[in-house]
Amino acid sequence: MNVEITRLASGLTVVTETMPHLESVALGVWIKSGSRNETEDEHGIAHLLEHMAFKGTARRSARDIAEEIENVGGELNAATSTETTSYYARVLRDHVPLAVDILADILTESAFDEEELRREKHVILQEIGAANDTPDDVVFDKFSEVAYRGQTIGRPILGTPDTVKGFTPGQIRNYLSRNYTTDRMFVVAAGAVDHATFTKQVEERFASLPMTPSSPPVLETARYIGGDVRETRDLMDAQVLLGFEGKAYHMRDFYCSQILANILGGGMSSRLFQEVREHRGLCYSVYAFHWGFSDTGIFGVHAATGGNELPTLVPVIIDELRKSSETIHQQEIDRARAQIRAQLLMGQESPAARAGQIARQMMLYGRPIPNPEMMERLEGITTERLTDLAGRLFFDTVPTLSAVGPIEQLAPLSDITTALATPGIQTKKAAG
């Protein structure tokens, strides 16, 4: 792993991985701040800021930004998540100085013009509408809202029409000055890049970034609550999400949870896919996942099926969760580890994937994690640890159920909770 790290005097961290066989470079700025860092009256502003960064600076119009990067065949984009925001580019090696200049420009000199803000609000309102028209997006948003009721971490990243309409340039600048500071920002590049040259470019162009926030960043401690949320819609399929509190990134059972999710529903060979879809034909989509955050996590099972299949589907899913707390086979662990190893190695062949991976590791752990070390952590996972974890995850915590579509035949949460808590025949009660 040819990774070099420099912490500038300003506090900004620069990380590169040289991949000399390439002609391109993936580079970007990752900020340890996302929708979770919003105050009560800022719901959706992190995502709006990401949009507005591309809408003009003191030196460039929105069109200039788009044309300059595309004139050299490059790409420029951004993304907002619950705990992070990223701005990134992909260019040929000769055009790295231009990409650095544009990224610095949009992050230090954005104009936040009133007319551009008005137009971008309209775009985001359309984005919110599109998300509300997409049932598999709705079911996840509603899940988070009830799992973390009344908390910033549970709110949709896009905000609401009311909050988005009310934002002003001043509010955007306040959020920016509170969260986009050098101690929370990482500039990462992977590909045909020279570390010393790149570091000098970053130091020169990002010199105006503030070192300390204008006021303390906002981050309330997450409290998983759990519960039930349903929305009946006239659709062909029902979207159902059953979940539990998972593990934070730094917890001992985080990697164990990743393996368990893979075994239960990580691919076509997984337990849920084979039993629910292949053997019984109860749905066209079923998978398990585990999301980690800084102080909490979510372990969930998502299924898309016809409303008439729900009385049979839910008990089968519960039975598979229970079986995982009783028996895990070594062959399943080996397959899950092999899949993760393949993902890690394949990611090293993509400069964009590699830059993103390094940035996440820097934000979470303060250093890049070599693949051998990652695999060594996975090697310590045993069948006993997995069955013990499954028992604690699925049967010792309050579940969260989110459902959208023709869900009249979906059992009450109380019945599902009883089925989870009671072995054997009681799982049939979840059929309603």
Active site residues: 50
Distance CA 179, CA 31 (A): 8
Distance CA 224, CA 148 (A): 5
* Angle at the Cα of 363 from the Cα atoms of 90 and 23, rounded to 5 degrees: 20
Q: How many CB atoms lie within 10 A of CB 4?
A: 15
Residue 366 gets the label, from left (phi > 0), alpha (psi -120 to 50) or beta, of left
C-beta of residue 301 within 8 angstroms of C-beta of residue 317:
yes
Nearest to 135 by CA among 407, 399, 318: 407
In angstroms and rounded to an integer, the radius of gyration of the C-alpha atoms of the chain is 23
